[in-house]
Chain A
């Protein structure tokens, strides 16, 4: 087994026992990136020199016998909407193409303090708005299971990097499914923590009341290791939660007796692949066989979730993205007047989907429409929360699909925004409720593409999610899942982008 094929937990063990050095580990991943990334394009910015430098530092500190964080020396990839000091942070947008932040996000500061070398910044839909990573202003990222298909989004770059061994771990962000949906489309594990559990300071805002940084990994245990590092109260984020952080790694051994699981019965959703439903039902049976009590649950208001989400998120986005006016940083176009300069900067700097959402949000917040749209959507959001509270009186865990279909084809939904929005339908209500939610691999579609399960728990119950995720991993003969990438050879290394 090569180093880049190992989990973060395994790398951590080998580094701590000094079987390998961080420099060797980082080099292995950098070589893998060189080999794979030209075809899949997960990274916007690669930072091999920086990664090797921090690996070297960690190795010397280890040599000196210093006590190090368990993840010290384990490299990581960071989604390019998370602010990194002196390192370009583009949000996959023309408007920030050359923006170099003067500060680290709280999570990035934590990675650096722990001594995790950063391999680079990963691709996403512009400002995290999208479900396929096709909205990147620079290039789309491809699905490693079938390069003709999308990896999902918006954290497509982070997910593909982890799925293909270009990074053992990655940070993503999830506003309405942006970690969970791509994780399920690429066969990896993605956690959206409780809103406020991980600091948002330094995460470039899309929809502030929904944005949450989370983990992308090949196993639940690796997710737990990363959560141990990034979760917790941050005095720089007023919405971060003060509750104590548990050791997510401890007690992940399965023991599902008495676990009450609610199997989500979806309302009418067009385009739900029957094989997905089958996979979810099969997962429910597995849980039942191991002592869990499974019942059915319906969340009646989820039917309205998508509509509420596509009013609330664009409303907040229309305000959050106002600052990109060309005055202080980022792209700036000329204009005869200040209004002309603003209009041209924004007109040329933003892509179509971002503009669409700014327009929707501006409309929903306008005088005379606020009550009918934004306010109504907020009321629906409150009712959705109550739906969840009610469900969690009967169940400890909700089980459903992480995506209604396996990965779709590149370009398949780009002309039809509504179809694109519907691909997040499974993920959105958890976001609106602010509860933690985990996507774990749930077998394969007959087409050979991976399918994902979604587990949802009460606020702060990330550990229960990871524990159940680990249970599913143990039910499989082979884990983690790795795409063969045989197209690399078939195409003679010359796959056309």
Chain B
């Protein structure tokens, strides 16, 4: 039997605020454990939460970027459960009155563009972090808790169950990340945990309209592992179903090392969170103008940029896609394009030599001054330097940040051209290589290339190749 795969994602995103959601503590990553803490985020007896306005701005911005409908009246609730990383034994979250409902993202999938709908977007607080002795949560002797993370504003995005493969889920996530990066609401680093994803996945016989029993998959720490984990789950569930068995509702943990999912707990282990309205906070009431202002100041989003790049620079779809998906590369391109408006050539250099040199030298594109590349390409186009020289200069520019124009001037790397300067060199080469000259006269064209190479070697590649050819033919 063929099965249809149904996947829904739950994404958690740490918002880029300087301070936490309900107190003034810093949100900086990687500090000494338990140093970014105060009575409020530690939940000490008697402490109370106060909204961080910036977090609300970022949450609304994110929801707007995801085409979600902002609700002017929303409410915070307590989600009660016991866990050592949860200082108050409840998480302040939003339950039945979330900040935003609906929304969607247009995702490029194998079969073209597909709209993935969202259920809701809401704001909540982050928990602390458990550090397990040993390698993993399973079989750990003891755990330590770091509350630096506790209270960082967290955005939860829930999708509709509308994805049909691990690959689709991954593509959706990658697109979502790009949108949220453009919106400027989060640094979206899966490896640092500022973007996290849990997935609900179930299978049903093709054509059926009833959802199958789902499994919830957690602990997927990269886009790749989302795809791998979901593909693994598909196979696992398929095996169970085609063997005549039924899938048991469970929460499982993706084991990155062994590339498999491990059952954490079954349905009977699921909690009753006893949600109720948080009495320490007033309902969140937003002014229409507040939301409208944020909508107006929404940065350009990826889909808009893709369109604009194609229109403004005449780029191909894939080219625009590359410059949008890699936002910094796109920024680099657009800045360089101002000084060097030969867009197709610029793009070729950016996607080719520049990306290659960045990789080779382990540099980030943000570290490179776009005007330097523009200047380099101008030198090349003017005929002031030769292409091989340009490539070398680019490599050095990426390595050291040196200005190609200055390097050319300082080292005298300009092209050697003009009869007066080239003729002595040509005559010298002819005199020194009688054999090759003889071969050329007998019709061996390769011999001419040899002689050109000799001159180039003598000039370190700086001779004007066209003129050189002409002069050699003339003199032989």
Contacts and interface: CB of A to CB of B under 8 A. Distances in A.
Interface in B61-104: 78, 80, 82, 84, 87-90
A101 B44 contact: yes
| Chain A interface residue number, banded | 35 or more
Contacts of B279: 207-209, 239, 316
Interface string B29-73: 000000000010011111111110000000000000000000000
Interface string A100-125: 01110100000000000000000000
A342 B47 CA distance: 22
B282 interface: yes
A316 B47 CA distance: 15
Interface in A367-417: 367, 370, 374
B322 interface: no
A319 B45 contact: no
Contact of A239 (B39, B78, B280): B280
B274 interface: yes
Interface string B381-416: 000000000000000000000000000000000000
Interface string A206-222: 01110000000000000
A205 B39 CA distance: 14
Nearest to B282: A238
Interface of B: 39, 42-51, 78, 80, 82, 84, 87-90, 145, 272, 274-276, 279-282
Nearest to B274: A365
A365 B45 contact: no
A315 B274 CA distance: 9
B46 A238 contact: no
Contacts of B281: 238-239
Contact of A329 (B44, B88, B272): B44
Nearest to A338: B84
A98 interface: no
Contact of B84 (A96, A102, A325, A362): A325
A201 B145 contact: no
A239 B39 CA distance: 18
Nearest to A368: B272
B90 A236 contact: no
Contacts of A83: 44-46
Main secondary structure of the interface of A (DSSP, over half): loop
A91 interface: yes
A322 interface: yes
A443 interface: no
A103 B39 contact: yes
A102 B46 CA distance: 11
B45 A238 contact: no
B45 A99 contact: yes
B46 A205 contact: yes
Main secondary structure of the interface of B (DSSP, over half): loop
Contacts of B274: 318-319, 362, 365-367, 370
B225 to A, nearest CB: 27
Contacts of B276: 315-316, 319, 365, 370, 374
B87 A328 contact: yes
Q: Which 6 A-B residue pairings sit nearest by Cβ, starting from the closest?
A: A322-B89, A365-B274, A209-B279, A208-B279, A204-B45, A83-B46
A237 B42 CA distance: 16
A443 to B, nearest CB: 37
A202 interface: yes
A328 B272 CA distance: 24
Nearest to B23: A236
The listed residue with most B CB atoms (<10 A of its CB), out of A201, A235, A239, A328, is: A328
Nearest to A322: B89
Contact of B48 (A201, A339, A374): A201
A89 B45 contact: yes
B43 to A, nearest CB: 5
A327 interface: yes
Given A91-B45, A323-B87, 5 more contacts: A83-B46, A201-B46, A236-B48, A365-B80, A365-B275
Contacts of A366: 272, 274
B78 to A, nearest CB: 5
A218 B372 CA distance: 82
Contacts of A88: none
Nearest to A362: B274
Contacts of A318: 80, 274
A435 to B, nearest CB: 17
A237 B48 contact: yes
B446 to A, nearest CB: 79
Nearest to B85: A327
Contacts of A25: none
A439 interface: no
A323 B88 CA distance: 4
B44 A319 contact: no
The listed residue with most A CB atoms (<10 A of its CB), out of B43, B47, B78, is: B47
A200 interface: yes
B45 A101 contact: yes
Interface string A311-327: 00001101100110101
A8 interface: no
B46 A323 contact: no
Nearest to B81: A322
